[in-house]
Structures are given as C-alpha cells and as structure tokens.
Structure 1
Amino acid sequence: MGFLKAFELAKLDQLTQSISKPVGVVWLLTLLLFLLAAIFFLFQMENWWIPAAVAVVLSQLVIILSWQDAKFGTIMNVIILLVVIVGMATWKFTSETAKELENLLAENETSTALITEEMLHDLPSNVRTWLNHVGVVGREDIDTISFRQIGEMKLEPDGKWSASEAEQYVTTGTPGFWWRVSVDMLPVVDVVGRDLFRGGTGDMKIKVASLFPVVNVSNNEKVDQSTMQRFLLELPLFPTAALQPYISWKEVDPFTAEAQMRYEGMEAIASFHFDKNGSGELVRVSAFRYKDHDEKAEPIECIGQIHEYEEINGLRIPVKVDISWVLEGEPFTWYRFEVVDFRLQ
C-alpha cells in the first residue's frame, strides 16, 4: 500500500500521511521479501527465516515512518518475529547436529569382508540360525545404515500419544549412532531431540521449539551405558555387526541368546529372544538400561518387540517395533514406530 501511495498508483484513503518514493520502494521491497520467505517456507527450505527476518526489520521501519496510519502492523511483526526466532533456532539445531553426523561418519572404519558360513562357526547355534535366517551369509559387512522412523511417543503410561518423525544413522566398524527426532508434543511448536553414541560415550539433547533446552547431558556414565545398550538392542537392524570383535555371544537356552558388547572400557548386555519353532525369527530384544541419568536412577528393563519384517537388499530387517520400559512389573510402551527409507552401505 505504501508503494502504491508513493507512486500515486492508487487512491488509498487509509494512508493519510505522505510517503516519499524512496520509502515507497522500501514498502515494495518488504512485500517481496515476505513473499520470498513464504515461498521458502512452503517448500520447506531451512533458511526461510533469513528473508523473513529482513522483511520484519524493513516492515517495522516503514511502520515507524507512517506510525499514525500503520502502527497496528507492529502486532503482526511481533508474531512473525517470534516465528522467525523459532525458525532460526531450528536451523541452528539442524546445522549443529548435521556436523555431529558428519564427524561420526568420517570416523567409521569401513570393511569389505565377505561373510561366510565358516565365520558363524563359533557362535551359539540359535544365533547362527538367526543370522542365516536374516541372510547375512554371502554379503559384505554393513558399514553404515540410515533410515527414518515414523511413529508416536508418550511420556507417561496414562499420557496421550504424540506423532513423531526421526532419522538415524548407525556405524558398525567404529560403533556409533546419531538419532534426531521431532515430536508434535505441544500445540504450536515441536519438541526436538538428538541422541549421539560416539567413541563409547553418549550425548543427549532435548529442546522445545529447538530453542529452550530441556535435557542436555554428556559425560555421564549412566547415559554412556544406556546408549551402548541401545546400540545392542538395535543390532537386528544391522545384523552383520553380530560378528564384530567388540561383541561376544552366549546361549542362555535354545530360544534365547545373550550379546555382550565391550568397547572403550564400557560393557553392555542384551538378550535376544527367538521364536519357539526354530526358524531363527527374532521376536524380541531386551536389556537393562538407565531410563534417567540422575544419581537415583537405576537400570530397568527395556524391551523392543518386533511386529513386522521386510526384506531389504537381501536382508530381513525389522520395520515395525514397539519400545517399552518395564515399570513396577508392567510394560509401559512409550514409543512405537515404523522404519522407512532404509539404506545399507
């Protein structure tokens, strides 16, 4: 409107103050920047907030110059500014965590070893049956996997489910994982989180709107232990790692095996439960992990229940899983997800 008035392209009685042509050009530039920001936002470009931030500054400048007529535009600018701050925080969180992923992948030791039947010889018979069943024999070691998880979470047994979407990378030569999640837990803003297992240590971050830290824990032995246990629990997603030297196996009974992981002075143990018909189908994994990281935290049982498999690049991979804590003897399923966009390297 300021541009139209400045160049006398329309009669605008709402604007009673005169507007010079240079200021009118600023009005037009502000409009174009807002439109550009809207296009970037609609196409989910992470840097949409940059033109929006510049537009808010210019918009407020021309509002001040025409304060009597345009002062109420300040309300809209404040609303947009708050969204811009969240957008900037999201971009910063995404950039920082992407750098962590880059470092994790760069440190991974890759292998081209071809897995043979002889390499399974010293394993417990139920583990051998499982690895043959999922198809590891005759293929190279899996160095890296990546996938997305589409699912839902809840914080309390009687709480409501919130939609979630996560992406994860796992390295096996140098064991580690990077997991970034976004949860629609609040009406307007998302809760984002990142779990990192690298060099035998864990690192956990949770933020509201990518801005306000809720959890930021590292250099904590209980988190280190819990993240290593998680690596073991997720082994069915990258089953060739069952043969890595940092993992050893023990048969508990014909339908249960115990995997022990030793790495960088830490130790983790998980139980693998197979079906009773002897096919080698893994139905459940479990381990005692720390749910919390404070001084009072004690390890409790964590269970991954596998509901569905899919054959991906010749490997039988679990794609529908429920994750539960056992609280006071009762399972509390807090996360259920489906694996999509699974990639092996």
Structure 2
Amino acid sequence: MRIALLIILAIHALIHLFGFLKAFELAQFEALKEPVSRSFGILWLLACLILLCSLILNLTGSQFWWLLGLMGVLFSQILIFYFWSDAKFGSIANLIILIASVLAYFQFSFDRQMEEEIAQIKANTQELGSERISKADISHLPSIVQKWLDASGVLGREPISSVYLEQALQFRLKPEDQEWSPGTAQQYFSVEPPAFHWTTEMKMNSILKVLGRDRYMNGEGEMTIKILGILAVADVKADAKTNQATLQRYLAEIVWFPTAALSPYLEWKQIDSLSAKATMRYQGVEGSGTFHFNEAGEFTKFSTLRYMDVNDESPTEWVVEAKRSAVMDGVKIPVRCEASWILESGEWNWLKLEIVDLSFDF
C-alpha cells in the first residue's frame, strides 16, 4: 500500500508540472486545452513542489509527511476546480492522498500520545540502588523461586529498575479464527512504582491495521484498541476488573525482569518443589498467579484466574507458557511465549510472541 501511495504521489506531483510548463511555453500538452497564465503556472509549480516534498518526507520516514500531503491536496484541488474540464480526474488522486494523509495524522497523534504516556512512567520510575543482589537477599523466598533467580543470572547484579522490550507477535482475536495475523509491540516496564506501557500494531490484512495500547499505572489498568487509529473498538479505563486483570498481567511478565520478584508488593508461597504462588497487592488491588518451573529452575508456565472481559461475571483461566529461553542483556528470560484462555469450549491459544530486543536499566 505504501508503494502504491508513493507512486500516486510522484505521478500526481509531476502532472502539476505540466501546467507550469504550458504557462511559460516550455512545452505543449494536448490534454491541457484551457489557456494557463503565468501566475497560474507558478501556482501549478508550487503545488507540484509541495506534493514532491510530501513524497520525500514519506520516503525518508518522517512522521510529518501528512502535513504537506494535506497542504498539497488543498492547493491542488483549488487549481483543479479552476481548471475543472481539463483537470477533474486529478480529484481521484487527491482523494487517495487525502485519505492516506488523514490516516497518517491519526497514527502520528496516537504515537505522540504514547510517547507522552511513556515519558510520564519514566519520570516516575525510581532507581533501586546499586547494591548487588546476594543469596542472603533472596533467602526468604520459596526455594524454587530462589533457584529461578539463580538460573536467571541476577545474583551479583544490581536490581532492575526498568526495562524496554520489542516483540514480534502472532495473534487470533476470536476462538474460531484459524489463521494467525502478524503484529509488533513495544513495552516499557517500571519496577518501583510497578507500571507498564504496551503499544501494538496489528495487521488484520494488507489494508486494515489495528493500533492497541495497554497501560498499568498508579494501580489502574487501561486498554484501548483503534482500527486504523481512528475508530475505537475498545476503550476501558480504571474498571475494577480491568485493574485486577492488568495487575495480573504485570505479575506474569516479571519473568522478563526477574529481580522484580523481590519487590515489597509481592508475597510468595511455595506450592510444591516446582511451583510457587505469587500475590501482588498494590493501591488496594490484589491479584495472584502460579509460577511453574522445571528442574533447572527455568520458568515454564504462569497460570491464574483472570477476567477476560469487564462484562464477565467470573474470571477465566489464563495461561502463559514459555517455549524458549535465552540470555538477553545478561539475564536469562523466556523469549518465546504463548498465551491461552481455557474456555468451556476448549483452549483458545490466542497469542504467540517473541522478544526481539530488550534493554535493562539498573
């Protein structure tokens, strides 16, 4: 789609050059039958240059190309109305560029909002000190959790204050879906206070794009999903069930920054030799889940009862399984995971993710 837009922009911009060339008698074009004065010739050239600048900004990845796109469409359409009999079909190209520019604006607006929200979480993030974690620091935890932290490689390191990661996704939005749709996501975590910000871009097909954002901050959860960045199909804020579900998600995802297991808002209880229950209490909200490990101390699964929707009367079993672990930024973490809801009709494996980039701030 982007290539098609670039081609349309290039051709449409160059066609405007014809008006300039005819006005200054530099060339003749049979398609332009109406006379063009030099004043209008300069205006045709100006429209051409604006559209070409929009094209260049798009090619270079600038988020502001849409602004010149809108200006170029406005300028071009005024000229087309004036030379309607010769130039009316240019309105089709203008309509395409207009739609693309409006969509780009909403993407730009969404991205700016995300940047501001992440900046807010970063501003609140507290450094956890430079004292390195020792065996004595984890001695109060269940033995399997101690083994996990040791296997993760966090002993002898400073506690992680925040983490940024990027994910490659595959998802199925409905239990009956057979095909997987691709997506990407970026996520930022803070340990103290506990918070995360997750943004995703999901491609339903070659045209339809879905933007999503989940946020956990100040003990409250929020979820937003917008088609093409415009039409909100989900917008949940600070609902009691959402707050708990988002807290439980944060709890499950501490496996990506294991030193958070030492946080004062977490309470651990051994279940058996290979599993432990963690309860998180923060800002009046409580949620728990069970962490499962293998004999080597590697995380294998997280399970809990979690609200799938704010309208659900009771929570549903939610499971996150680690499919592969690897060392990233010096810490061994699960880098490939799958998430499922255990429905009455059976297991709905709805998400596959892989961490493609990660960095810690100690």
Q: What TM-score range do you get, normalising by the shorter chain?
A: over 0.9
CA distance in 2, matches of 1:189, 1:115: 47
Pairwise CA distance, 1:3: 0.8
Give distance in 2, aligned partners of 1:126 and 1:234. 18
The equivalent residue for 1:150 is 168
- 1:301-316 matches, within 5 Å, as 301-316=317-332
1:112-146 residue CA offsets vs partner (Å, 9 max, x unmatched):
23211101111111111111111111111111101
Partner of 1:326: 342
Provide Cα deviations, 1:58-111, integer angstroms capped at 9, x if missing partner: 110111111110011112111211111111111111111110111011011211
Letter in 1 for 2:246: T
In structure 2, the partner of 1:88 is: 105
249, 255, 270: which one pairs with 1:230? Answer: 249
Query: Structure 2 CA distance, aligned partners of 1:203 and 1:313?
Result: 29
> How far has the Cα of 1:300 moved from its partner?
0.8
Counterpart in the other structure of 2:95? 78
Say which SS state the counterpart of residue 109 (structure 1) adopts. coil
Q: State which drifts further: 34-43 or 314-323.
A: 34-43
Q: What amino acid is aligned across from residue 282 of structure 2 in structure 1?
A: Y
Cα deviation, 1:214-264, whole Å, max 9, x if unaligned, reads 111102111111100000010110100000101110001111100111100
Cα drift, residue 329 of structure 1: 6.3
Aligned pair partner of 2:126 in 86, 97, 109: 109
Equivalent-residue separation in structure 2 for 1:292 and 1:25 (angstroms):
58
- Divergent runs of 4+, >3 A: none
Distance 1:305 1:249 in 2: 20
Aligned residues of 1:291 and 1:297 also touching (Cα < 8 A): no
What displacement does 1:304 show? 1.0
Describe the superposition over 1:151-174 as per-residue Cα deviations: whole angstroms up to 9, x where unpaired.
211112231211100000000011
Give 2:54's aligned amino acid: A
Once residues 299 and 42 of structure 1 are traced to their aligned partners in structure 2, the CA distance between those partners, rounded to angstroms, is: 47
Secondary structure of 1:18's partner?
coil
Q: 2: CA distance between counterparts of 1:187 and 1:71?
A: 29
Residue pairs, 1:195-344, within 5 angstroms: 195-275=214-294, 278-294=295-311, 296-328=312-344, 330-344=346-360
TM-superposed deviation, 1:297: 4.1
Structure 2 CA distance for aligned equivalents of residues 322 and 297 of structure 1: 25
Indicate if the aligned counterparts of 2:181 and 2:204 stay in contact, CA closer than 8 A: yes
Contact kept? 1:167, 1:180, Cα under 8 Å: yes
CA RMSD after TM alignment? 1.2
Q: Which residue of 1 aligns with 2:148?
A: 130
Choose 296-305 or 5-14, whichever is displaced more.
Answer: 296-305
Pick aligned residue for 1:5 from 17, 22, 27: 22
Instruction: State the TM-score, normalizing by the size of structure 2.
Output: 0.92
Task: Tell me the amino acid that sits aligned with residue 148 of structure 1.
Answer: E
Alpha-carbon spacing, 1:211–1:63, altered in 2? closer, same or farther (3 Å): same
Distance 2:43 2:307 in 1: 57
Structure 1 residue 323: Cα displacement: 0.9
Instruction: Check conservation: 2:175, 2:350, Cα contact below 8 A.
Output: yes
CA distance in 2: counterparts of 1:117 and 1:287, whole angstroms: 29
Mapped partners of 1:323, 1:158: distance in 2: 16
Q: Is the 8 A contact 2:329 2:358 kept in 1?
A: no
Whole-angstrom distance in 1 between the partners of 2:38 and 2:314:
70
Distance 1:223 1:127 in 2: 28
Deviation at 1:328, TM superposition (A): 1.2
Q: How many residues align?
A: 342
CA distance in 1, matches of 2:166, 2:39: 50
Distance 1:19 1:131 in 2: 76
Rounded to whole Å, the distance in 2 between the matches of 1:125 and 1:156 is: 39
AA partner of residue 113 (structure 2): E
Which range is displaced more, 298-307 or 220-229? 298-307
**CA distance in structure 1 between the aligned counterparts of 2:305 and 2:65, rounded to whole angstroms:** 43
In structure 1, C-alpha distance between the alignment counterparts of 2:336 and 2:53, rounded to whole Å: 40
Whether 1:42 aligns to 2:93 is no
Q: SS where residue 126 of structure 2 aligns?
A: coil
